[in-house]
């Protein structure tokens, strides 16, 4: 059975469950204002196969869960 992927243009606030197939085209870390050695957030621009883009911001509590998969 083939997986069904949603496009970025189909994301709405009506649902919180999507299957996205995207590429990270830009990634950067925003340092904490008071402790610059600690990341405050991880920012990304994602692009799907249609060329649609979306900005994603991961807070510092989520960075550790995703960082290994992104580098």
- Domains of the chain by residue range: 19-70
Nearest 10 degrees: CA dihedral of 64, 66, 67, 71? 170
pLDDT digits (tens, 9 = 90+) for 58-69: 998 898 887 777
pTM of the prediction? 0.82
Check pLDDT > 90 for residue 9.
yes
Separation between Cα atoms, residue 60 and residue 65, nearest integer Å:
10
pLDDT digits (tens, 9 = 90+) for 20-58: 999 999 999 999 999 999 999 999 999 999 999 999 999
């Amino acid at each position: 059975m083939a997986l069904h992927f949603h496009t970025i243009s189909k994301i709405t606030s009506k649902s919180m469950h999507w299957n996205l197939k995207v590429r990270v085209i830009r990634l950067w870390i925003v340092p904490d204002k008071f402790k610059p050695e600690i990341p405050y957030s991880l920012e990304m621009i994602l692009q799907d196969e249609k060329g649609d883009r979306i900005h994603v911001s991961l807070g510092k509590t989520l960075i550790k869960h995703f960082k290994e998969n992104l580098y």
